[in-house]
Amino acid sequence: MKEEYSYHIAVSDRAIISYEHEVELLKNNKGSRQEWIKAFKKFENITELDRAAVIDLVKQVRVYGKDRIEVIFNFQEETERHSSLIAFANPNYDYVEGMVV
């Protein structure tokens, strides 16, 4: 039992170090995959959804009926991942279902 706890502690420690390193890269704008941030910044002040924004930001739209649609965004995994990093790095934020609140 002690070995199992030691293993989980070691895995958690490595994950924390990895997250802290990635947070530092993001703070210094040195992350290797920053294209998604550029795409969102390009459209940060839009007031209407136009074709260019849809092409850059939306991967797929699923229509399930008259009352339900689902929008799959390009870079959705990246935004969810970085939202969780923000919540991890700043205890004043809560991470709820892919969003920092």
At 57, which helix (H) or strand (E)?
Answer: helix 51-57
Residue with tokens 């070995």, as numbered in its chain: 3
Residue 31 CB contacts under 8 Å (≥ 6 apart), including other chains: 22, 25
Decide: pTM greater than 0.75: no
Q: What is the pLDDT of residues 19-34, one digit of tens each?
A: 777 777 666 665 545 6
Q: Angle between the 2-27 and 76-89 helix axes, to the nearest 10 degrees? A: 110
Per domain, the residue ranges of the chain are 1-31, 33-101
Give the pLDDT confidence score for residue 101 in this predicted structure: 44
